[in-house]
Structure 1
Amino acid sequence: MNSRIGAAVLTALSAAALFGAATPLAKALLGSMSPFMVAGLFYLGSGVGLGVGIIARRFRRPAAQAATSHHFRKAEVPWLAGAIVAGGVAGPALLMLGLSSTPAATTSLLLNLEGVLTAVIAWVVFRENVDLQVFLGMVAIVAGGVMLSWTPGETGVSAGALLIVGACLCWAVDNNLTRKVSANDAMVIACLKGLIAGPVNLAIAIATGASLPSAITVGAAMLTGLAGYGVSLVLFVVALRHLGTARTGAYFSVAPLFGVAISLLIWPELPSTTFWIAGALMALGIWLHLRERHEHEHTHERMEHSHRHRHDEHHQHEHDFPYPGDEPHTHPHVHLPITHSHAHFPDIHHRHQH
């Protein structure tokens, strides 16, 4: 349990690091491209790159892929479509429009709202469990992000700032909708989002008068998108399976810290005292989350889904295909009703009411 959760936490933090690194690079690219062009190339790079990875994976183990392949269930399609529209089309477009007229420091400050809005929607709308320790951990992480990006003297809410707030709300909705399909192949989820969102944003860019930049700039943008939007989303979805939406969103909220660190590497200078205090607050929040122990008797209803798993206490099932005995593996399987008690997180198997 501890090693699995620890791996999930590292996965969420890795997703935050990749996304945080993409933000200052996006700001730099905006100097030569329209906001929609940047968003389109970022997501197109994500979709194409992950698509190549999926094809390569199939050729590497064709027999295993054929035996364990699965598709999204019909009931999951609306959730996936909503996530793609909110997070892959509306969110990036609003962010890029906001970035074009908003100082980088203000943008970093406002981006902290994504984690807050993600948690609020998870707790209020989807009834994900929360206790005082998790709430305080979220407060500490957000406080660190606010301190990290606060610029004294800046007042008022500009139109650009409102656009960035809108982007955060779109991504918060995206995160919670993606939770509903997170048991599926994370690479396929991220690839579909990229292949749909990329062309849509590019079409908007070209329709509004933008033109494609040089091949080198296009390649740089697509590679940045593959890492910061593609691989980052894959890792985020994997973390969602094990940690739930609010907790994954909290870990992801440390992305601004990585963004500032990347900026310091690109434009070297000594970190300020504020940077270290912000880092300490975020570390405190992560520590509070890691100390959480949620345990009570709970009942699992019958469930059928597909994801990567081992044959632990939640996965005692037969196989309807030749099974060589290797673990972990992926295939559609059924969970029979069971009542028991153990420490758990709101993962894909523990989304019960309290």
Structure 2
Amino acid sequence: MSEPHSHSHLWPGVPLALGSAALFGATPPLSKLLLEGVNPFMLAGLLYLGAGLGLALYRLLRGRQAAAGEAQLTAGDIPWLALAIGMGGVIAPVLLMFGLTLNTASSSALLLNLEGLATMAIAWLVYRENVDRRLLLGAFAILAGAVLLSWQGEGIAFNRGALLVAGACVAWGIDNNFTRRISATDPVVIAMLKGLVAGVVNVGLALAGGASFPPASVVAVIAAVGFFGIGVSLVMFIVALRHLGTARTGAYYSLAPFIGALLAIAILGDAVTLKLAVAGLLMGAGLWLHLSERHEHEHDHEELEHEHSHVHDEHHQHQHDGPVSEPHSHWHRHAPMRHRHPHYPDLHHRHGHG
């Protein structure tokens, strides 16, 4: 058996979540440009098809040995995957595309912070995931920034574009919590299936509604944006779910709208207004509160048996008959133990708190 691995509790979950946010954050302003000549349903479908087909090609090229390091989907995972695809792959992107046609790219990008709030609220209230005071304060700061973006001079007026973007965020928040249920399985397969199914559905709806395919060169650009901004981003997000839990992955993911807003200003020429600047500061303060959290206490691990990709760290002390490569995946047993270290509600730390 190999030696236990020792690393920061921030690794690799936080970098993965932030990297996922950066890739997805670039998608709204780029989509805003593409919407000038493409039907919203068609654009949503082609983005997800680009993600699905790109990941299918990657899965083919990476070979069986790399795939063997990940647990595979089982029959019990299919209902959760189907629900995640419906909410996050079909409903949410269409709402976002139509919202972008009625709202500026920079405001829409910052409003996407609501996805992290929706994800955290569902994880906390429905799935009872631990959320401390610092995370709640950060959430309120982000919410204040989102409300400020919708201030229309005489009061708060959520225009149709903002409401559609908010609806997309709620749908993605539900999707993220469903995806957490299957996050121990191969993230490339999950993201690939999401992309292929959602892409086919939305392209089909677009064609049924009278839309036509854009030129091949535009399709290629859309596919590239979809592969990186949705496909690669989603793979990183799913792996982050394993290590951080749903609420905290959603919180770190709040970086995405800042990336999108900056790109919208740089690429589309959106104005840098005082309202936008103050909203960005509020959301930045909320993100800092999330990033500076440290959760540590003595806790018990009950006996547990499951399968997922792992290395031989302090939580995986088991024998193999012969040499193995790491990471690897197989069914394994965790003996009961009690210890103290910084941790997040990952696959091995989903315990209650008093």
TM-score, normalising length from structure 2?
Answer: 0.88
Inter-CA distance 84–302: structure 2 relative to 1 (3 Å threshold):
farther
Point out the more displaced range, 336-345 or 88-97.
Answer: 336-345
1:24 corresponds to: 29
Cα distance in 1 for partners of 2:37, 2:268 equals 19
CA shift at 1:271, angstroms?
A: 5.3
CA shift at 1:238, angstroms?
A: 1.4
What SS does structure 2 have at the residue aligned with 1:39?
helix
- Structure 1: stretches of 5+ with no match in the other structure: none
2:12 corresponds to: 7
Alpha-carbon displacement from aligned partner over 1:31-51 (angstroms, at most 9, x marks no partner) = 111111001000000001011
2:98 corresponds to: 97
1:348 corresponds to: 347
2:337 corresponds to: 338
Paired residues of 2:105 and 2:264 also in contact (CA < 8 A): no
- Structure 2: stretches of 5+ with no match in the other structure: 1-5
1:177 corresponds to: 178
Paired residues of 1:145 and 1:256 also in contact (CA < 8 A): no
Q: Does 1:298 align with 2:302?
A: no
Point out the more displaced range, 117-126 or 254-263.
Answer: 254-263
CA shift at 1:278, angstroms?
A: 4.8
Cα distance in 1 for partners of 2:67, 2:14 equals 28
Paired residues of 1:142 and 1:253 also in contact (CA < 8 A): no
1:72 corresponds to: 73
CA shift at 1:152, angstroms?
A: 4.3
Cα distance in 1 for partners of 2:96, 2:202 equals 12
1:255 corresponds to: 256
Amino acid at match of 1:18: L
Q: Give the alignment of 1:182-221 within 5 angstroms.
A: 182-221=183-222
CA shift at 1:275, angstroms?
A: 5.7
Paired residues of 1:47 and 1:193 also in contact (CA < 8 A): yes
CA shift at 1:283, angstroms?
A: 4.3
Aligned match of 2:44 in 18, 39, 44?
39
Inter-CA distance 63–223: structure 2 relative to 1 (3 Å threshold):
closer
Inter-CA distance 145–101: structure 2 relative to 1 (3 Å threshold):
closer
2:323 corresponds to: 323
Inter-CA distance 165–288: structure 2 relative to 1 (3 Å threshold):
closer
Paired residues of 1:90 and 1:170 also in contact (CA < 8 A): yes
Cα distance in 2 for partners of 1:12, 1:236 equals 6
Identical-pair percentage: 52
Cα distance in 1 for partners of 2:174, 2:198 equals 16
CA shift at 1:286, angstroms?
A: 3.6
Paired residues of 1:107 and 1:164 also in contact (CA < 8 A): yes
Alpha-carbon displacement from aligned partner over 1:95-132 (angstroms, at most 9, x marks no partner) = 22232333435533542321211111010000000111
Alpha-carbon displacement from aligned partner over 1:150-179 (angstroms, at most 9, x marks no partner) = 564385344444333221111010011111
Amino acid at match of 2:88: G
Two-structure CA RMSD over aligned residues (Å): 2.6
